[in-house]
Structure 1
Amino acid sequence: MSVIRLRNTRCHLINMMLFLAFTLLLLSDAAASKSIIKSLPGFDGNLPFVLETGYIGVGELEAVQLFYYFIESERSPKDDPLVLWLTGGPGCSALSGIIYEIGPLSFDYAKSSGGGKPVLALNPYSWTKIANIIFVDAPVGTGFSYSTTWEGYHVSDTISAAETYEFLRKWLVDHPKFLTNPLYVAGDSYTGIVAPIIVQEISDGNEVGHQPTMNLKGYVLGNPRTDYEIQINSIVPFAHLKVLISDKLYESFMKNCKGEYLNPDQRNASCMEDILAIKECIRNLCNAHILEPTCKDISPKPVPLKWDPRFLIADDADILLSSPRVPGPWCRSYNYVYIYMWANDETVRDALHIRKGTIKDWRRCNKTLAYSYNVKSTVDYHRNLTKKPYRALIYSGDHDMLIPYVGTLEWIESLNLTIKYDWEPWFVDGQVAGYAMLYADNVQDYITYDLTFATVKGGGHTAPEYRPEQCFAMMDRWFDYYPL
């Protein structure tokens, strides 16, 4: 045996010993609690896909118990990517992502509107047709995740990222057959803050030898909250591009306010007059999708000048559940009533193996988290990751005024990557589905970092809820390294 082969064999044995030691250490602390779910209330017959639910303890004394839904790929579990999916908020449940965005189930609204239990239907555009996906209720206090101590509920952007990284390490130890699958961290909205930190943690952990070694390939972010200042200031140019404000008003704003919408000079009377005029033009619009109606039983909210994280949580179910529906146009938020009815049903909780006494009232988005927003921008995290051989896909619904695509494009441009393919359309069924750009940066010879930015035509916040077929086609192509 050659010296090189002997050295490689020894390295392999050392890595195996480290992994086994790490596995035994974790499993000796607390075995993962998991169950295979064969059927669910509201769905006729057995589920045609593999669904596992469970809890994994993280943090000090594993006081934080993060709940997850794992759905195996319906195509080829051993070959398809493994995706860690986080829904935004912070505090919006993974179940919302499953039902309304990318999961295999949705509600049959026609059959659910008679006052009985909600009826489930299959989603033909589920991303689980092409990927294994772990949907996690994170941070703690989200969905069915809970803590056994009050201290455990005090969490921040960086603490949430660290706990989710620990969750993923333990989940992979308990599911070793997925260790070789290509791994992607993904999510939407406020996940744009936490996900890049998690990716950095995984990358750094791999480099220093944390076990298990993860086959990290990149990350996917939809309508992502990334930079506090850029994205709020981008509301005005977005409104101008969508003809929500006039050329004259836009030009006056740029002259008087110098593009500053977040923190304008309040002593500048001309600037403040422009801002009030802008707010008047856009205040009655649905911020999540500017072409959809606002709900008649909810007072319209003006776009805030100061950042309020709750502004990103478009969840009106609290009002809809407690007040009669006023006659008027259909509103998307009416659909969210069904998930409250379903997730708070005891037969559903029993079927999902939810621990009794841990969560009193399930909320699609928990607005009462003891959460510290300690990261205002993750642009530097993205910049760090451009030096690694990873792939990134950033997509935005082009009718989203909560996190406008023009602001997302601005921070991407600040990374100073090389444009490989400039702005061009991508198609689904012969129709323009959006526009895309491909950026790249050399990491090593023949190894590059690449970032695809894509708009989803007609998409809102977030894009898969509004354009499921187009988003499915986008992900199918991107996972398989095809142009959009």
Structure 2
Amino acid sequence: MLTEKRERTLEMAKLSSTYATSDFVYHGLVLPFLLLSSFSFQLASCGSIVKFLPGFEGPLPFLLETGYVGVGESDDVQTFYYFIESENNPKEDPLMLWLTGGPGCSALSGLVFEIGPLAFKYEEYNGSLPNLVLRPHSWTKVSSIIFVDLPVSTGFTYATTESASQRSDWMLVHHVHQFLRKWLIDHPNFLSNQVYIGGDSYSGIPIPVIVQEISQGNEKGVQPWINLRGYLLGNAATTRKEKNYKIPFAHGMGLISDELYESLQKNCKGEYINVDTRNLLCYRDMESFDKATSGLNHAYILDPSCEWLDTETSWRRSLIKKYPGKKLLNTLLKLPLLSCRSYVYFLCGYWANDDNVRNALHIRKGSIGKWHRCNINIPFKNDISSSYDYHVNLSKKGYRSLIYSGDHDMEIPFLATQAWIRSLNYSIVDDWRQWQTNGQVAGYTRTYSNRMTFATVKGGGHTAPEYKPEECFAMYSRWISNTPL
């Protein structure tokens, strides 16, 4: 499917010409902010096939390409991506662009912990490179996926100028849009494939906006035309008021008493975000709520709460060789327990910071320092307050959507997602019912007349595929093929 040399000149000329006459304005920003006319000078993309990965035995049994696409002013944001071709029928199967949440969590996190074909082997760290194994329920069994490191300073994506290092919701939207059109020019064999945009958690804010911007670009005749069909979101932020639903979720799960729940409702009147300290009764109740839910893993209330420090590269192997004792090793690394789900997050960090791994992934030397799974401490401007109105716009345009929630997630409870979907006020075409895998209940689902499907994943956490991979693969493969859940 991927050719070594691709004909680009004609497509670049078309794209440059189209954008040169475009009159797009988004959020007070003129679309030439993207400087897509620079396509006439260079595509600024570079991809390489990866046949072997350190930690994985033998050649990869699927096609993996990694590379960079320049976006932003003068391509001063070098966007890193992992592209995995469908293991089924790449010529016909859909193409999905996937964004991990955060903002600032690497695409590698989505690839190895959620929906990709690789996973880290759960085994105690002994100083050697962590091992990779195949994931049997990879979404690449039914679609090609581009895992993208955005916004800037996420994963291996870096800025070449200080001004390009600025981060915001709208910049992320523009960069993803620009990335996809440029990537498709460089991969013309995928121009006719159906395209979906997917992601989870924070990505519920930018993705509906990205879909709308791509759609409007198509309507304006921007080339290359993108065969956009819809989007999917998991445990997704939408209104930024999801915390209001933590209280009824906690009550329904038996985490707080009936009396405290009734008092919270009475004294806070349903508003639990930025509580006014002058409302002493509400403030007191919120303190009681925080105390009652402290020590819980809010991402998955069934898991233990595991805290650890991200210091996996602050030491040298020589220390381990000199002091092989596990007690000292754990002190140096401040590791989570092996029984903790976050243990593999540590393994991932050590793996991604290994020089041999970076060479295999074709990471540009000196482009970034330490790799972090999530770079969430870098300043980020939240200039899109809600994505709700964009869901409304996309519904009118007839795009398909799958909105799913792990039902044991207290970070963004399924109740919050149900509430904004219900307020869209679309009629129900397939009412609340079970959906199953292997003859067992995997969750509950409802479909609306705007082609939106909502599904819960029974026993799922904040990133549902991480906790229920088999069930989520069944959900995705059915939905992407237009089959009822």
User: The TM-score by the shorter chain falls in which range?
Assistant: 0.7 to 0.9
CA distance in 2, matches of 1:290, 1:398: 10
**1:443-463 CA deviation, whole Å, 9 max, x = no partner?**
xxxxxxx10111111110110
Which residue pairs with 1:385 in the alignment?
394
Q: 1:294-443 maps to which residues of 2 (within 5 A)? A: 294-295=305-306, 298=307, 316-318=308-310, 324=331, 325=334, 330-441=339-450
CA distance in 2, matches of 1:279, 1:87: 28
* SS of structure 2 residue aligned to 1:276: helix
- Range that drifts further, 387-396 or 362-371: 362-371
* SS of structure 2 residue aligned to 1:68: strand
CA distance in 2, matches of 1:337, 1:19: 42
CA distance in 2, matches of 1:179, 1:117: 38
Which residue pairs with 1:467 in the alignment?
468
Which residue pairs with 2:48 in the alignment?
35
Q: 1:14-33 maps to which residues of 2 (within 5 A)? A: 21-22=14-15, 26=39, 28-33=41-46
**Structure 2, unaligned stretches of length 5 or more?**
1-8, 18-37, 315-329
Q: Is the 8 A contact 1:317 1:337 kept in 2?
A: no
Which residue pairs with 1:307 in the alignment?
none
Q: 1:256-295 maps to which residues of 2 (within 5 A)? A: 256-295=267-306
- Range that drifts further, 77-86 or 268-277: 268-277
* SS of structure 2 residue aligned to 1:396: strand
CA distance in 1, matches of 2:426, 2:305: 39
Distance 1:201 1:344, change over 3 A: same
Q: 1:175-194 maps to which residues of 2 (within 5 A)? A: 175-194=187-206
Q: Which of 58, 61, 81 is the equivalent residue of 2:71?
A: 58
CA distance in 1, matches of 2:373, 2:363: 16
* SS of structure 2 residue aligned to 1:171: helix
Aligned CA RMSD, in angstroms, stands at 1.9
Q: Which of 237, 253, 274 is the equivalent residue of 1:242?
A: 253
Quote how far apart the aligned CAs of 1:326 are: 7.7
Aligned-residue sequence identity (percent) comes to 55
Distance 1:282 1:329, change over 3 A: farther
Which residue pairs with 1:205 in the alignment?
217
CA distance in 1, matches of 2:409, 2:353: 30
**Structure 1, unaligned stretches of length 5 or more?**
1-15, 299-315, 442-449
Q: Is the 8 A contact 2:12 2:43 kept in 1?
A: no
CA distance in 2, matches of 1:285, 1:327: 16
Q: Is the 8 A contact 2:99 2:198 kept in 1?
A: yes
Which residue pairs with 1:254 in the alignment?
265
Q: Which of 42, 45, 48 is the equivalent residue of 2:61?
A: 48
Q: Which runs of 4+ in 1 moved over 4 A?
A: 16-20, 319-323, 325-329
Query: What TM-score, normalized to structure 2?
Result: 0.87
CA distance in 1, matches of 2:443, 2:95: 26
Instruction: Give the residue type in structure 2 aligned to 1:398.
Output: D
CA distance in 2, matches of 1:319, 1:347: 20
CA distance in 1, matches of 2:336, 2:277: 40
Quote how far apart the aligned CAs of 1:27 are: 6.1
Does 2:87 correspond to 1:97?
no
**1:364-405 CA deviation, whole Å, 9 max, x = no partner?**
001232321111211011111110121000111101111111
Instruction: Give the residue type in structure 2 aligned to 1:464.
Output: P
Q: 1:136-215 maps to which residues of 2 (within 5 A)? A: 136-215=148-227
* SS of structure 2 residue aligned to 1:162: helix
CA distance in 1, matches of 2:235, 2:367: 32
CA distance in 1, matches of 2:441, 2:313: 38
CA distance in 1, matches of 2:74, 2:379: 20
CA distance in 1, matches of 2:278, 2:210: 41
Does 2:88 correspond to 1:80?
no
Instruction: Give the residue type in structure 2 aligned to 1:408.
Output: T
CA distance in 2, matches of 1:354, 1:147: 14
Instruction: Give the residue type in structure 1 aligned to 2:59.
Output: N
Q: Is the 8 A contact 2:84 2:145 kept in 1?
A: yes
**1:191-244 CA deviation, whole Å, 9 max, x = no partner?**
111111110100110111111111100001011011112x01011011011111
Which residue pairs with 2:33 in the alignment?
none
Q: Is the 8 A contact 1:317 1:336 kept in 2?
A: no
Q: Is the 8 A contact 1:293 1:329 kept in 2?
A: no
In the comparison of the two structures, how many residue pairs are matched? 440
Which residue pairs with 1:301 in the alignment?
none
CA distance in 2, matches of 1:375, 1:391: 22
Which residue pairs with 1:71 in the alignment?
84
- Range that drifts further, 130-139 or 263-272: 263-272
* SS of structure 1 residue aligned to 2:173: helix
Instruction: Give the residue type in structure 2 aligned to 1:96.
Output: S
CA distance in 1, matches of 2:336, 2:287: 30
CA distance in 1, matches of 2:336, 2:165: 40
Q: 1:451-462 maps to which residues of 2 (within 5 A)? A: 451-462=452-463
Distance 1:417 1:319, change over 3 A: farther
Q: 1:112-123 maps to which residues of 2 (within 5 A)? A: 113-123=125-135
CA distance in 1, matches of 2:312, 2:427: 48
Q: Is the 8 A contact 2:312 2:350 kept in 1?
A: no
Distance 1:366 1:328, change over 3 A: closer
**1:260-318 CA deviation, whole Å, 9 max, x = no partner?**
111334323322222121111111110110011012xx4xxxxxxxxxxxxxxxxx551
Which residue pairs with 1:128 in the alignment?
140
Instruction: Give the residue type in structure 1 aligned to 2:395.
Output: T
Instruction: Give the residue type in structure 1 aligned to 2:222.
Output: H
Which residue pairs with 2:229 in the alignment?
217
CA distance in 2, matches of 1:31, 1:189: 30
CA distance in 2, matches of 1:21, 1:210: 8
Instruction: Give the residue type in structure 2 aligned to 1:462.
Output: T
CA distance in 1, matches of 2:153, 2:360: 21
CA distance in 1, matches of 2:45, 2:338: 46
Quote how far apart the aligned CAs of 1:84 are: 0.3
Distance 1:337 1:327, change over 3 A: closer
CA distance in 1, matches of 2:436, 2:289: 34
